[in-house]
């Protein structure tokens, strides 16, 4: 841990660093490849919508059932004539979902299940879900997503600038696409818990991005008044200075979510925990990745297209070439402490003794006037 803290301090002070912006085309390619894989998974396998969105019935059996999940699934499909989903819950009971049935059909299915499972029909809890309710949930989720995106873009455009707002928007789309694609590939059921998880990760996805943007805004103030750094180099320094902080916050956030996913969902068999925790886990990891490798390099790409930034880059390169010709360093490092607030043509500081005024030396060498 002490080594990690030392590394964080060295990154913050610019003593070490990795050139994320220079290698941005590699990260763009990796992100495009992952996104295409997610879209293909979504197109080929599709989302496994939960019963809340399709309508149907949910049957909950008593605890400590001696029947296996596969047997219960076979019984439910025979009784209903529809595909059934059976989950083993942590208390030993089973959750049986059958989509596309009405109230009258659910009563007969419940009686047949009680007979096959050899339990009292009164001990099986049946809940009916109408498809209109799931449709309302989906519509509200889309409305919430649209309103959130709009407000985020407006806020970032006002607080920072429109290029940062656009980069953050692209990063959000990147994170949501990957999360939904992973859901399709894994085959997890999409429930209201999934929607809650997706809406939750939007804020987490922006957290590290805004931290880097704030550092970048501070360091690029009056950037055109100096000739030591290009915009891309300062953007890279901003990423490195906040890198360890981003890693720490992401790891700390992922640990409890991983506990929910692998212990709560896998060991205890809590289905709702699976739905929420998977979206949170994938979204948090994708958000940390996009803030470092996508959002800030994209801002640097957009900014360096401006005439002022192009002119600055020419002046920086020209000054470095002049220094190389004079025998100085050929290129300024992309990280390190900066003192660009000091004027370049300032007079050098006086190293020797200061000239003292005549009033302070006027009486020197005279007798003090005291009598001996």
Strand partners, 99: 56
**Cα torsion for 229, 231, 234, 235, to the nearest 10°?**
-160
Residue 96 lies in a domain: yes
Same domain, 26 and 80: no
Give helix then strand counts, H and E, for the chain. 14, 6
Residue with tokens 């409305």: 143
Q: Binning pLDDT at 50, 70 and 90, where does residue 358 land?
A: very low
More confidently predicted of 54 and 46: 46
Based on the structure, what is the number of domains in the chain? Answer: 2
The pLDDT value given to residue 6:
65
**Cα torsion for 350, 353, 355, 356, to the nearest 10°?**
140
Alpha-carbon span 207 to 220, nearest angstrom:
20
Domain that holds residue 220: 2-49+133-308
Same domain, 143 and 218: yes
The pLDDT value given to residue 349:
34
Residue with tokens 């929910």: 260
- What are the pLDDT digits (tens) for 183-221? 888 877 787 778 888 888 887 778 888 888 998 998 888
Whether residue 94 is predicted with pLDDT greater than 50 in this model: the reply is yes
Kindly report the CATH number assigned to the domain that includes residue 30.
Answer: 1.20.1640.10
Name the range with the highest mean pLDDT among 172-176, 194-198, 354-358: 172-176
Same domain, 119 and 211: no
What integer is the mean pLDDT of 41-60?
82
- What are the pLDDT digits (tens) for 13-41? 555 667 888 888 999 999 999 999 999 98
Alpha-carbon span 233 to 339, nearest angstrom:
15
Largest CA-CA distance found in the chain, in angstroms, rounded: 128
The pLDDT value given to residue 369:
47
Same domain, 156 and 109: no
Whether residue 258 is predicted with pLDDT greater than 90 in this model: the reply is no
- What are the pLDDT digits (tens) for 117-160? 888 877 888 887 776 666 777 788 788 888 888 998 999 999 89
Domain limit, last residue, from 293, 308, 323? 308
Same domain, 148 and 74: no
Whether residue 80 is predicted with pLDDT greater than 90 in this model: the reply is no
Residue 239 lies in a domain: yes
Domain limit, last residue, from 94, 129, 164? 129
Same domain, 221 and 277: yes
The pLDDT value given to residue 272:
61
Residue 342 lies in a domain: no
Residue 369 lies in a domain: no
The pLDDT value given to residue 158:
92
The pLDDT value given to residue 345:
39
Contact (CB, 8 A) for 246 and 211:
yes
Same domain, 155 and 70: no
Same domain, 139 and 252: yes
Q: What percent of the chain has pLDDT over 90?
A: 13
CB contact burial 321-334 (16+ within 10 A = b; e otherwise): eeeeeeeeeeebeb
Residue 11 lies in a domain: yes
Alpha-carbon span 281 to 258, nearest angstrom:
7
Residue 351 lies in a domain: no
CB contact burial 166-190 (16+ within 10 A = b; e otherwise): bbbbebbebbbbbbbbbbbeeebbb
Same domain, 172 and 283: yes
Phi, psi (degrees; rounded to nearest 5) at 138 = -65, -40
- What are the pLDDT digits (tens) for 306-334? 999 999 999 988 888 887 777 655 544 44
CB contact burial 23-55 (16+ within 10 A = b; e otherwise): ebeebeeebeebeeebeebbeeeebeebbbbeb
What integer is the mean pLDDT of 249-264?
82
Residue 337 lies in a domain: no
In a 10 Å sphere around its CB, with 0-12 CB exposed, 13-18 middle and 19+ buried, how is residue 241 labelled? buried
Same domain, 63 and 24: no
Whether residue 356 is predicted with pLDDT greater than 50 in this model: the reply is no
Domain limit, last residue, from 308, 338, 357? 308
What integer is the mean pLDDT of 164-191?
88
- What's the mean pLDDT when you consider all of the chain? 77
Whether residue 116 is predicted with pLDDT greater than 80 in this model: the reply is yes
Residue 147 lies in a domain: yes
* Consecutive H or E run containing 361: helix 358-361
Q: Binning pLDDT at 50, 70 and 90, where does residue 347 land?
A: very low
Whether residue 287 is predicted with pLDDT greater than 80 in this model: the reply is yes
Same domain, 107 and 255: no
Same domain, 138 and 115: no
Structure tokens that stand for 319 in this block: 């000054």
**CA distances (Å), origin 114, targets 111, 119, 123, 224, 292:** 5, 5, 9, 78, 55
Instruction: Indicate the SS3 state at residue 290.
Output: helix
β-sheet with 56-60: strand ranges across: 84-88, 94-99, 56-60, 125-129
The pLDDT value given to residue 298:
93
Kindly report the CATH number assigned to the domain that includes residue 78.
Answer: 3.30.70.3400
The pLDDT value given to residue 370:
46
Q: Binning pLDDT at 50, 70 and 90, where does residue 344 land?
A: very low
The pLDDT value given to residue 12:
54
Alpha-carbon span 78 to 346, nearest angstrom:
88
């Amino acid at each position: 841990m002490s080594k990690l803290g030392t590394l964080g301090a060295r990154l913050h002070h610019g003593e070490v660093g990795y050139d994320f912006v220079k290698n941005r085309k590699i990260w763009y390619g990796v992100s495009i490849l992952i996104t295409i894989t997610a879209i293909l998974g979504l197109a080929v396998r599709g989302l496994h919508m939960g019963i809340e969105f399709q309508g149907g019935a949910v049957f909950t059996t008593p605890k400590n059932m001696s029947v296996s999940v596969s047997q219960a699934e076979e019984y439910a499909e025979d009784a209903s004539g529809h595909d059934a989903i059976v989950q083993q819950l942590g208390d030993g009971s089973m959750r049986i979902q059958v989509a596309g049935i009405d109230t009258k059909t659910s009563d007969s299915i419940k009686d047949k299940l009680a007979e096959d499972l050899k339990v009292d029909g009164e001990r099986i809890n049946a809940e009916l879900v109408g498809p209109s309710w799931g449709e309302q949930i989906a519509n509200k989720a889309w409305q919430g997503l649209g309103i959130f995106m709009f407000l985020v873009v407006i806020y970032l455009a006002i607080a920072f600038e429109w290029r940062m707002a656009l980069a953050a928007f692209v990063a959000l789309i990147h994170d949501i696409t990957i999360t939904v694609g992973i859901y399709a590939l894994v085959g997890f059921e999409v429930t209201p818990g999934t929607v809650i998880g997706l809406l939750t990760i939007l804020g987490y996805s922006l957290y590290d991005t805004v931290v880097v943007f704030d550092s970048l805004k501070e360091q690029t103030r009056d950037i055109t008044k100096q000739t030591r750094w290009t915009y891309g180099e300062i953007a890279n320094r901003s990423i490195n200075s906040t890198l360890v902080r981003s890693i720490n916050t992401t790891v700390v956030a992922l640990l409890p979510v991983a506990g929910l996913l692998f212990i709560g969902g896998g060991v205890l068999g809590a289905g709702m925990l699976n739905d929420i925790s998977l979206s949170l886990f994938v979204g948090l990891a994708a958000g940390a990745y996009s803030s470092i490798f996508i959002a800030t390099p994209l801002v640097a790409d957009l900014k360096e297209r401006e005439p002022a930034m192009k002119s600055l880059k020419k002046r920086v390169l020209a000054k470095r070439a002049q220094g190389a010709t004079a025998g100085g360093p050929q290129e300024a490092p992309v990280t390190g402490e900066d003192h660009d607030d000091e004027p370049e043509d300032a007079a050098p500081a006086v190293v020797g003794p200061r000239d003292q005024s005549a009033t302070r030396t006027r009486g020197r060498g005279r007798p003090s006037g005291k009598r001996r």
